[in-house]
Structure 1
Amino acid sequence: MERSSHIECHQLIQESLQIFPPCGQLDQNTSRFRTLGPKQYTFPFSLAFPTVSGCYKAHSTKCLEKQSQSQTEPAPPVREQEMPHLLRRLPPSTGNRSGPAEIAYAVEANVNIGGFLKQSIKQVSRRIFFCPTSSLPPPRQSLSRHRAVMIRCHQSTNETTAQEVTAAIARTYHVSIELMCGAYLHLGQRLPIRVQVTKVNSADHDLILNDFQAMVVEETEVRAAGQVRVQRLSRILRTVSNLRMFVCLAETPVGTTINIPDDFWGGQLLPTVITPTFETCNVRRSYKLEVRLGFNSRPSKVQTRILEVHFPVHIVATEPAPIPSSILRFSEKQQDNAEDTIPWQGMTQ
C-alpha cells in the first residue's frame, strides 16, 4: 500500500506437472534419468486453470493448526483482524508493481540437470496473461433513472410576478435514461443506452439536446494489514458537444414521449482493455457507469441543464481479451528455432 511498508502476497493457485519424462511412462524397468543429445527440444504441455482460487484452502489449513495449538497453549493477543478468504472465481490479470495491487500469473519451469558429482537445477519463469470469460447471462430487467428538466422561458426581473415564475418553472420535461441489458456490460459490445423524453407541460420554446457524455468509473478496493485503500479511475467512453438536436418542439403535444436516436453513442463499444469485475479475499474491482446529458431551450441561449445519472454495473468478458503489449511474446528468431525442435513424443530412449 502507498506510504506504507505493508505488503501482502496471496497465492491464488499452484499447479505442478512433470513434463519430461512423462509420469505415465515411468515404471520399475524405466529409469527416471534420460540422456538428451546436443539439440534443442520442445516439451508441449497444458495446464487447466481451476474455476476458483485456492488461497482459502491454505487459510483453512492454517485455521486448523491454530485450533490445535489453542488447545494446548494460551491464545496470543489478537493485533489485527484477518480478512476472510472468499471462495471466488480466479481474478483476471491486472495492475502492476507500482499500483496498490497486482494480480499476476506465471509459469515456472525447473530443469534438473544430473551429473556424475552433483545435480544442478535451472529455473525459467515467464508471465502469462489470464482473463476468464463468462457465458452470456440471460436477459435481465432493465435499469432506468428518471430526471426532470426545468427550463425558464425568460429571465426573471423585478416586474415578474410570482405566477409567471411558477409557470416558467412548471414547464418541465421528464427524461428517462435506461440500461436495456440491466446491470451487465459486455466488453467489446455496444453500450445499451436508451433515452426517452416526455413533454409534461405546454411550452413556447424548443428542447434541444446539446451535450452527451458516457464514462466508466473504476473502483479498486485493497485490504492489507488491517488497512483499506480505495483507488478510483475514470475512463471517458464518449463525449459529444454542440449536437443541437431538437428533441421537443414548441408545438409538440403535451404527453408526447420521444425516443432520442442512439446515433451518437450506439456505435460506441466498451473497450476490451477494461478488466472485468472481480473480487478476491483482499482485492475488489467494481464499476459505475455515468451518463451526462446537456439540454437547453434554443441554440442562441447558453443556459444549459446538465442531467447526471449513475448505474452500478457488472462488466464481464464473453470473448478472450487481446494480450497486452506488456506481455512478452516469442520473437521471430525464437519462432524460427522452435520449428527445428523435437517434441518429446517423438523421442526414443
Structure 2
Amino acid sequence: MFPQVAECYKSSTADAARNQLGSRQPHHLLRNLPPSSGNKYTPEEIRYTLEASVVQQGLIRRTHKATRDVSFHPVSTIRQPLHSLKISKTVNLSTIASELLCPPLTYEVEVELQNGPFLLLGHPIALGVKIMHMNGEKNAISLQDFQTMLRETTEIRARGSIQGFTRSWVVQTMTNLRQPLVAANRPTVGSVLELDDRLWSRHCVPVHLAPTFETCNLIRRYKLEIRLGIEFGRNYTRILEFEFPAYVLLPSFTRFTQSCVGSLEPILDRWERHVPKKE
C-alpha cells in the first residue's frame, strides 16, 4: 500500500523560492504515518500491529512472542495565527408591490469558520453566522432550520486505477427552531444581526472519524456543508447552503500551540487555492 517510488514525491508551493535556486528538497507523502482507518470489511483499511519478543535466559532458553492490534492516530497542533474562512451569499426579496414602488429587499448572509478549515475531533465547530440588512424596510429575521454535515471522501490508488468512496456524517440537524436573530440595538439599514453560537456549541465533531491524511496510494479528505433555513419576515423563507474545505485533526492536549507536529504545507496550499469566492 505504501511503495517507495518516485510518484510518492510532491513539492509544495512554499518550496517555489528554493526551487528557483535549485536547492529544493522533495516532500515525501510518507514522511508521517497515516492514522488507523477502516476495518477488514472496508477497502481503505489501515491497521497497525505491535509485536513484542521476550527472551527468557536460563537452563532452557525460551522466547515468548505476542502481537496486539493497536490504534494509531497522530496528534496534530496548528501554528498561529489562524485565519478565518468566510462565504457570503446575497438574498433578494421582492413582491409585485415592491417591484412597483421600491427595489427588492437585500440581505447578505455570511458564514465564517473562525479557525479556518481546521476542525478538531471531539470539539464543536468554531462557527459564526451573520446577516446584514442592506436596504429597505426592517423585517424580523429568524432561523428555522440548521444542519452541519461532514462529507468524507476516500480515494484509493491501486494497480493503475483510482477508486473513490464517499460517506456523510451529520454533526447536527435541527428544524422548526423559530430562533430570532437580534442585535443590541434595533436593526437599521446596514445593521448586522448575529446568531447565538450556543445553538451549535454543544455539538462536537464525531471522535470516531479518521483525521485528514494523504499517502502515496490513499487519500482521506473532508468537506463541511452548512445548511440554513432563514425566514425573512412573513412568508419569505430561503434555504441557503454553504460548503467549506475541511481539515480534520486529532487535537493535542494544548489545543492551539505555536508548534506544528508534521508539515501541513501541502494541505494549506491546497485549500488556499480553493477558498470560495463571494457569490
TM class, shorter-length: 0.7 to 0.9
Counterpart contact for 1:199–1:248, Cα < 8 Å: no
Partner of 2:83: 141
Is the 8 Å Cα contact of residues 202 and 253 (structure 1) preserved in structure 2?
A: no
The AA in structure 1 aligned to 2:123 is Q
Q: Distance in 2 between matches of 1:161 and 1:177?
A: 28
Aligned pair partner of 1:267 in 165, 183, 202:
202
Aligned to 2:213: 278
**CA-CA distance at 1:177 after TM superposition:** 0.3
SS of the residue corresponding to residue 102 of structure 1 reads coil
Higher relative contact order (CA 8 A, sep 6+): 2
Offset at residue 134 of structure 1 (A): 1.4
* Cα shift at 1:85: 6.9
What amino acid is the match of 2:100?
Q
Q: Mark the CA change 1:183 to 1:161 in structure 2 (over 3 Å): closer, same or farther.
A: closer
User: Could you tell me whether the CA contact under 8 Å between 2:152 and 2:223 is conserved in 1?
Assistant: yes
Alpha-carbon separation, structure 2, partners of 1:202 and 1:283: 52
SS at match of 1:103: coil
Cα contact 1:150–1:173 (8 A) shared by 2? yes
Deviations 1:284-328 (A, max 9, x none): 0011111111112346x3x521111111011111248xxxxxxxx
In 2, are the aligned partners of 1:240 and 1:264 still within 8 Å (CA)? no
**Is this contact kept in 1: 2:138–2:187, CA < 8 A?**
no
Q: Are the equivalent residues in 1 in contact too, given 2:86–2:112 (CA < 8 A)?
A: yes
- Corresponding pairs, count: 229
Residue type at the aligned position of 1:232: T
Aligned match for 1:171, one of 92, 105, 113? 105
Could you tell me which of 33, 45, 48 is aligned with 1:102? Answer: 45
Structure 1 segment 159-308 matched on structure 2, within 5 A: 163=100, 167=103, 170-203=104-137, 205-247=139-181, 252-298=187-233, 301=235, 304-308=237-241
In the superposition, relative to structure 1, how do residues 263 and 181 fare at CA in structure 2: closer, same or farther (>3 Å)? same
Alignment correspondent of 2:15: none
TM-score by length of 1: 0.58
Q: For residue 208 of structure 2, what is the amino acid of its counterpart? A: V
| Paired letter, 1:188 | G
| Structure 1 runs not aligned, ≥5 long | 1-8, 11-54, 61-83, 321-349
**Percent of matched pairs sharing the same residue:** 35
Measured after TM superposition, the shift of residue 207 of structure 1 is 2.3
Query: Where does the alignment leave 5 or more consecutive residues of structure 2 unmatched?
Result: 7-26, 254-279
Q: Which amino acid aligns with 2:178?
A: R
Contact conserved, 1:198 with 1:258, CA < 8 A, in 2? yes
Q: Deviations over 1:119-171 (max 9, x none)?
A: 9987643211111101243122110000112334x5x5xxx69635x73xx21
TM-score, scaled to structure 2: 0.72
- 1:126 counterpart residue number: 68
Task: Decide whether the 8 Å contact of 2:108 with 2:134 is kept in 1.
Answer: yes
Deviation at 1:261, TM superposition (A): 1.0
Pairwise CA RMSD: 3.0
CA distance in 2, matches of 1:196, 1:161: 25
Q: How far apart are the structure 2 equivalents of 1:264 and 1:279?
A: 33
Q: Give CA-to-partner distance per residue, 1:63-118, whole Å, 9 cap, x none.
A: xxxxxxxxxxxxxxxxxxxxx9733311110111221211000023457899xxxx
Distance across 2 between alignment mates of 1:291 and 1:185 = 14
Q: Which structure carries more strand by proportion?
A: 2
Is 1:317 paired with 2:273?
no
CA–CA distance in structure 2, aligned partners of residues 86 and 297 of structure 1: 48
C-alpha contact 1:278 1:284 (8 A) present in aligned 2: yes
3-state SS in 1 of match to 2:100: helix
* In structure 1, C-alpha distance between the alignment counterparts of 2:182 and 2:231, rounded to whole Å: 11
- Counterparts of 2:126 and 2:237, CA distance in 1: 25
